[in-house]
Amino acid sequence: MLRGNWRVFLAAFGFLVAVLGLGSAIAWVLWPGSSDLPTYGWQETAYSDYEPGGTSCQPAEINRLRPNAKRASQREACENAAEQYRIQTNDLKQQTRAADAAVASVLIAEWQSKATVFGLIVGFYTLAAASAAAIFAKQAADETRRSAEAAESAVAEARRIGEAQVRCYASVGTVVLEFERSGALLLQLVVNNAGQSPAKEVRWGWRIGIRDTDTGALWRSPETVILRGTVGSSVSAGESFISTSVIADLLDDIPMRNALIDSTRVICDLLVDIEWQDVFGTPFSERLRFTADFRPKDKFGEPVIAERYTAYREEILREFKAPLA
Please confirm whether the linkage preceding 67 is cis (ω < 30° from 0).
Answer: yes
Cβ atoms of 193 and 168 within 8 Å: the answer is yes
pLDDT of residue 280: 83
Residue-level pLDDT at 27: 62
Q: Which residues contact 264 (CB under 8 A, 6 or more apart)?
A: 213, 214, 295, 296, 297
Query: 10 Å Cβ neighbour count for 56?
Result: 13
| Cβ-contact 266, 208 below 8 angstroms | no
Helices (H), the chain: 2-30, 59-64, 68-166, 248-252, 254-262, 296-299, 314-320
pLDDT of residue 1: 44
d(CA 132, CA 27): 21
DSSP 46-93: ---S--TTGGGGSHHHHHH-SSHHHHHHHHHHHHHHHHHHHHHHHHHH
What is the structure's pLDDT at 230?
55
Query: According to the model, what pLDDT value does residue 172 have?
Result: 86
34 CB-near residues (< 8 Å, 6+ apart): 110
pLDDT at 2: 44
Tell me the C-alpha distance between 23 and 243, whole Å. Answer: 87
Q: Which residues of the chain have pLDDT under 50?
A: 1-2, 42-46, 231
